[in-house]
Amino acid sequence: MTPPSEPKQLVDHLFRHEAGRLASVLTRILGFDRLELAEDIVQDAMLQALHSWPFQGVPDNPSAWLYRVAKHKALDVVRRENLFRHISHELMADYRSGSAESLVDQYFSEDEINDSQLRMLFACCSPVIALESQITVCLKILCGLSVKEIAGAFLTVPDTIEKRLYRAKEKIRAEGPRLEVPTGLQLSVRLTTVLRSLYLLFNEGYNSLHPDQLIRQDLCAEAMRLCVLLTENPRTAAPIVSALLALMCFQAARFDARTDEAGAIVLLPDQDRSRWNRELIQKGRLYLDRSAEGDRLSTYHIEAGIAMLHCTAPSYADTEWPTVLHYYDLLLAQTPSPVVALHRAVALAEVSGPLAALLEVSMLSGLDTNHYYHAILGDLYVRNAQPEPARQHYRRAWQLTPSSAERELLTRKLNDCNLED
Amino acid sequence: MLIFHSPYSQETAFAQQSPEEMQAEIQKWNHWIGGIAAQGKMVGTEALLPVGRIVSKGGQLITDGPYTEGKEIVGGYAIVSADSLDEAAQLGHGCPILDGAGLLEIRPIMKFD
């Protein structure tokens, strides 16, 4: 067979996303205790694609091709192990009236695939395992990342990830998960855990100082994709979910402007705002609107509000700082923490001047080993025309930060300090 | 004919690749094959699965294969239309099998006129 001269291009991350979708569907069909088998089937299907697509041409519908291959392999297992009863009970269908094939087929509709992913998301974000493990499990099963890729993202070794995955899956299995979306009061509780996990995953990508930008963007993108999944299902589309998604959109919108071509850090006041993603900001506003329902003002709502104020300000100076400060007051009331107070102080400096902020920050404790604390203090002292304490704090921050990019930034600030003298 | 040889370890490594890596691999092959096809010089190409059988000793011995002594495996082939061995070798440039520790064997097909 002669392959085409213009082979069809595959959508970015198609395999990765389909791996997540397929693993979810297959696990639902075969049961959570057969998770590894489900992942093997997915791997096999993709390997088959690797061996045939370049030589026979990429199919018109690559996803459908993968689903068909995976479906057949799953059917083999269903027949061989007589899993009819399990499936039909799941679907509440009379298995006598349908063939195994038509039963399995039902799982592969778009709606059912999304449903399977949701169920898997709740299973992965099980409260019986640590948040860190929840993220790892999500990345492996739902986001189609390999152990090596996850280890790379978290700057650790594959062995560590393997162990974490193993222990997490054992714990989840011990709970006897029935792969379902929780309902009633349980839903609200479980949703909190899921959202915290997604928030953490997003932050891993956004705040991490990992040398590889692409990996970090991937982590943010995956967190957003899973959050979108929640907003698209009426059962899980609570206002708090829209609030988190709005926050993610606003933060992600600024991603490109946060580093320059050489990879150096560019702080908010200096960012080229034309490099902010308008589309994402617009999306953020839509989701923020949708989140303005119900009687619950969550920290995600407040953080999203702050992020929106930054994203819609024409410049750092023209930001509505009094409103930002007010939001930080609300945030502090909900989550009293020295770190929140520290960020609030930055807003306070814009509203009432650096001295007021310095007075507030001097009353905070427990932050002495936090390099941001010292960096911010440095900035405040500079603005208050006190270069000597500024230098001391910049040096301390330099000692404390593990990141070479941040050290480079702090060195620049120290040099600027010295110039002003 | 361009014959793709790769060490066994590479074949098994493929099986362990992540979905993202597999997609990248597919795009690489598409790109190389598409390039030759665009010149109208691709006659045919297939990948071979790393399973099969070896028949030897006058047909007496049948073993599971392909486990050759050299610990290398033929992964597939491409038949291209070229005027010389040199031109065929040129077409072989950029073949993804060469990215790892693989090698490309280039042989002219005998024509009986």
Chain A residues with CB inside 8 Å of B76's CB?
55
Q: What are phi and psi of A19, to 5 degrees?
A: -60, -45
| Non-local CB neighbours of A214 within 8 Å, separated by 6+ positions | none
Residues in A closer than 8 angstroms to B26, CB to CB, are: 10, 49-50, 53-54, 58
- Pairwise pLDDT comparison (A34 vs A7), residue with the higher score: A34
Check if B13 contacts A (Cβ < 8 Å): no
What residue of A is the nearest CA neighbor of B75? Answer: A51
Q: Which of A89-103, A257-271, A386-400 has the lowest mean pLDDT?
A: A89-103
Distance from CA of A101 to the nearest CA of B (A): 26
A310 vs A313: CA distance, rounded Å: 5
Instruction: Examine the pLDDT at A78 and tell me if it is beyond 90.
Output: no
Contact A340, A331 (CB under 8 A): yes
- Single-letter amino acid, residue A161: I
In this prediction the pTM is 0.88
Q: Average pLDDT over chain A, rounded to whole?
A: 91
pLDDT at A98 over 70: no
Q: Is B79 helix (H, G, I), strand (E, B) or coil?
A: strand
Bond preceding residue A402 cis, omega within 30 of 0: no
Q: Does B11 touch chain A (CB under 8 A)?
A: no
- Provide the 8-state DSSP code for A263: -
Is the pLDDT at B53 greater than 70? The verdict is yes
Judge: B45–A3 Cβ closer than 8 Å, yes or no. yes
- Using a CB-CB cut-off of 8 Å, the residues of chain B touching A21 are none
The answer to whether A216 and A205 have CB atoms below 8 angstroms apart is yes
Q: Nearest CA of chain A to the CA of B40: how many Å?
A: 8
Of A15, A18, A54, the CB nearest to B29: A54
Residue A270 confidence (pLDDT) = 92
What does the pLDDT average to over A58-67?
95
Q: Does B74 touch chain A (CB under 8 A)?
A: no
pLDDT of the residue at A253: 96
pLDDT higher than threshold 60 for residue A95: no
pLDDT at A58 over 90: yes
CB contact residues (below 8 A), chain B span 34-73, against chain A? 34, 37-38, 40, 42-47, 49
CB-based contact A3 B27, cutoff 8 Å: no
Q: Which of A35-39, A48-52, A406-410, B64-68 has the lowest mean pLDDT?
A: B64-68
* A35-39, A70-74, A106-110, B9-13: segment of lowest average pLDDT: B9-13
Q: Which residue of A has its CA nearest to B30?
A: A54
| Dist CA A201 CA A139 (whole Å) | 9
Q: Which residues of B touch A144 (CB under 8 A)?
A: 18-20
- Pair of tokens at residue B18: 């992540």
> Is beta strand B2-7 parallel, antiparallel or unpaired with respect to B61-65?
unpaired
Q: How far, in Å, CA of A326 to CA of A309, rounded?
A: 12
Nearest-by-Cβ selection for B18 from A5, A51, A145? A145
Write down the pLDDT at residue B70.
60
- Structure confidence at residue A177 as a pLDDT band (50, 70, 90): low
Interchain pair B30, A1: CB under 8 A: no
Phi and psi angles of residue B75, each rounded to the nearest 5 degrees, phi first = -90, -15
Lowest mean pLDDT among A90-104, A348-362, B26-40, B88-102: A90-104
Q: What one-letter code names the amino acid at B5?
A: H
How far does CA A364 lie from the centroid of its chain?
30
- Tell me: cis bond preceding B66? Omega within 30 of 0 counts: yes
A7, B30: Cβ pair inside 8 Å? yes
Q: Please report the sign of the dihedral spanned by the C-alpha atoms of residue B54, residue B59, residue B61, residue B62.
A: positive
If you measure CA to CA, which chain A residue comes closest to B18? A146
Facing A53 at nearest CB: one of B26, B43, B46: B26
Judge contact between A223 and A201, C-beta under 8 A: yes
Residue with tokens 């705040």: A207
> pLDDT digits over A270-309, tens only?
999 999 999 999 999 999 999 999 888 999 999 999 999 9
Q: Which strand (E) or helix (H) includes residue A107?
A: none
Q: Which residues of A189-215 are buried (b: 16+ CB within 10 A; e: fewer)?
A: ebbebbbbbbbebbebbbebebeeeeb
| pLDDT exceeds 60 at position A1 | no
Tell me the count of A-B CB pairs closer than 8 A.
Answer: 89
* Band of residue B47 on the pLDDT scale cut at 50, 70, 90: confident
Q: What is the pLDDT of residues B76-108, one digit of tens each?
A: 999 999 989 999 999 999 999 998 788 899 999
ipTM of this model?
A: 0.85
Residue of A nearest to B34 (CA): A5
Question: φ and ψ at B53, to 5 degrees?
Answer: -145, 150
Chain B residue at shortest CA distance from A2: B44
Judged by CB atoms closer than 8 Å, whether chains meet at B33 and A3 is answered as yes
Closest residue on chain A to B47 (Cα): A51
> What is the full DSSP assignment across A5-36?
SSPPPPPTTHHHHHHHHHHHHHHHHH-GGGHH
pLDDT at A353 over 70: yes
Is the confidence at residue B30, as pLDDT, over 70? yes
Closest by Cβ to A15, choosing from B14, B22, B47: B22
Task: For Cα atoms A165, A168, A172, give the angle at the middle one, nearest 5 degrees.
Answer: 135
Nearest CB among B14, B43, B76 relative to A47 is that of: B14
Average pLDDT over residues A398-417: 90
Instruction: Out of A87-91, A194-198, B57-61, give the one with best mean pLDDT.
Output: A194-198
Superfamily for B2-106? Answer: Dimeric alpha+beta barrel (3.30.70.1060)
